[in-house]
Amino acid sequence: MAYKINTKKCLKCGLCVTQCPEEAVVVDDKVTESDGLVLYTTRIDPDKCTDCGVCFSHEWWCPAKAIVKA
Ligand code: SF4
Ligand code: SF4
């Protein structure tokens, strides 16, 4: 089992970066919009991810439900 981020659904909120217990979510890009909103382009590092499933199982974890089983 592995997990990945569906970039078409991802809101780029960055919440997953702070929530993963293994720090497996890495930020590939960080953009600050003119209104101050910060957008994070994230992905799950398969070498760090332990497939614990927390990010997938809890609906509150990702507001966009963009984390999927790979
Ligand atoms: S928590 Fe979900 S919507 Fe937010 S950056 Fe992570 S994958 Fe994207
Ligand atoms: S499955 Fe677990 S270790 Fe992997 S990205 Fe999700 S919360 Fe992090």
Helix-then-strand count for the chain, H and E: 2, 4
CA of 34 to the centre of ligand 2 (A): 32
What are the structural domain ranges in the chain? 3-69
Q: What pLDDT score does 42 carry?
A: 97
Q: 2 or 42, which is more confident?
A: 42
Distance between CA atoms of residues 2 and 68, nearest Å:
9
For 51, the enclosing helix (H) or strand (E) is: none
Distance between CA atoms of residues 63 and 65, nearest Å:
6
> In this structure, which amino acid lies at residue 3?
Y
Banded model confidence at residue 59, pLDDT cuts 50, 70, 90: low
Reported pTM = 0.91
| Cβ of 22 below 6 Å from ligand 2 | yes
Q: What is the pLDDT of residues 13-52, one digit of tens each?
A: 999 999 899 999 999 999 999 999 999 999 999 999 999 9
| Cβ of 55 below 6 Å from ligand 2 | yes
Contacts of 18 by beta carbon, 8 Å cutoff, 6+ apart:
none
Q: What pLDDT score does 1 carry?
A: 60
CATH, domain range 3-69: 3.30.70.20
